[in-house]
Amino acid sequence: MPAYKAPLRDMQFVLHEVLNAEQHYQAIGAEDASRDMVDAIMGEAAKFCEEVLAPLNQVGDQQGCQWNDGVVTTPEGFKEAYQQWVENGWPSLAQPAEFGGQGLPDSIGILVSEMVSTANWAWGMYPGLSHGAMNTIELHGTDEQKEVYLTKLVSGEWTGTMCLTEPHCGSDLGTLKSKAEENGDGSYAISGTKIFISSGEHDMAENIVHIVLARLPGAPEGTKGISLFIVPKFLPDGTRNDLQCGSIEHKMGIHGNATCVMNFDKAKGFLIGPPNQGLKCMFTFMNFARLGTAMQGVASAELSFQGALAYARERLAMRSLTGPKAPEKPADPIIVHPDVRRMLLTQKAFAEGGRAMMMHASMLVDQVKYSDDEALKKESDDLLSFLTPIAKAFLTEVGTEAANHGVQVFGGHGYIQEWGMEQIVRDNRIAQLYEGTTGIQALDLLGRKVLMSQGEMLKNFTKIVHKFCKANEDNASMKSLVTPLAKVNKEWGELTMQLGMKAMQNREEVGGAAVDYLMYSGYITLGYYWAQMAEKAQAALDAGAADADFYKAKIKTANFYMQRILPRTESHKLAMLNGVDSLMDLDEAHFAF
């Protein structure tokens, strides 16, 4: 397994130089979040992730979780690491002070989450899912629910889950069957089976708070008849609730996290939010989880890049085509070969570009939650809504690509378990599935966010890119970056209009184009973040910055992205414009003979 080293220098660059974090924190009333404080938090988090979590990553993969008559035991060291996590106050970092939190902005929590995710994704899911539960209860719970449940979740004494999926329904929650019946005392009896429940049962915390979707008697059919409930493993009086982990899944990856079948047998639950409005309330949880899952793509790209880079510098094979680069050695390090550099630069571009996207998204979350400027809140919320499906689906897709490149750089050794590179591929593969598959996110982006808004949500972002390109069109050092970016940014709107016209004639065109549209959008979006980073890097060089090599690497990676990655948009464009007919022409009966 690669020895994880937190990329603090790069995180500081994006946070402080590209996104002007101190100004941002002052604007939302978080004046205490000074640069020194944030850097100190990052340093301590890095130490914990490098020294405690990273060594457990391969342990979790090899040992997995064990199920015995409803009791789940996590891998060796997981429980002790969680206790240390709680003792150090990490669960409360970006939670409200009135419930025991430290009151810091969400974007600071995201910095820590990235390090945890990269060091040990399976472990990080246990506390990670609690954040969504906390946000849901904070926004939709009663004062009593906040006092009973939120305080314990904030402290980390309890963890949380989200219970949506059932054996017969995944993303189509309108067919959900779990039911809730009134007990006569203000509580409800929850019955049903939920599957694929990450962290649904474990031995790391003393209680688990399940956020569960179920139907009340007489509720409308479909998604409009779903309500949301708090269903704890142990009730507030300490009584064991009537719910049980029926089994755990044997999975391709994330073996260190328990993916559970949860059986609710008239378990006592408590309504959260209005009746029949559960899905609306649950989107608080789901949107947070989607951004968290997007981070998995960044984490996979970063960890795989770190492992591949170290190996490529040491592994000797063949000579450079332009002559020996290490004549004193029997062969050259493979990093001299163009194809290895192609893979390494692709990993680097996805990891660092994805980091910038995620940090920007997390600052939009801050503005939505904490800004007093209602116009800014609305603008940030719309932009966040547009970026969320791109971040979730695009970053996890390219995260898997980056992880596969890591295996390829290692050659045959990459396929061997002891190196840990194949684990990154297996662990990340789920990220394209849970919290809404790539196809679901693509339909959300093209259908709901873009076409249903008459293109307004898209324009919100393309205007930002356009202004950036216009501001730099006379900047000679930026010409190679802004010229291709401006071209595809203009094309983006034109292409969207063409797809909209096609969809008016045949609605299947939306489904046929959606994934290509999302990937097309993702490459342009990431191109914008790379251009931003290059601009700041060039400005630092012009100012005589001491860390010149760091800034030069940024600019050169940005140029690589524009020349070798951004052109992928062309193939996605052609596929979309060729329409849906080739997808639908083959009769279902003729797929196989």
Burial of 192 (0-12, 13-18, 19+ CB in 10 A): buried
List, in sequence order, every residue forming a beta bridge with 72; answer none if it has no partner.
67
CA–CA gap between residue 498 and residue 486 (Å, rounded): 19
d(CA 393, CA 386): 12
Q: Which of 398, 389, 386 is nearest to 354 (CA)?
A: 398
Handedness of CA 305, 307, 313, 317 (dihedral sign): negative
Instruction: Find where tokens 């998204």 sit.
Output: 361
Q: Which of 114, 435, 509, 535 is catalytic?
A: 435
DSSP 133-190: HHHHHHHH--HHHIIIIIHHHHHTSEEEEEE--BTTBSS-GGG---EEEE-SSS-EEE
d(CA 279, CA 282): 5
Integer Cα distance of 480 and 472 in angstroms: 11
Nearest-angstrom CA–CA distance, 419 and 303: 12
Partnered with residue 267 across adjacent β-strands are: 190
Does residue 474 sit in helix, strand or coil?
coil
**Catalytic (active site) residue 182:** no
3-state secondary structure of 260: strand
d(CA 429, CA 175): 26
Which are the catalytic amino acids? Answer: 435
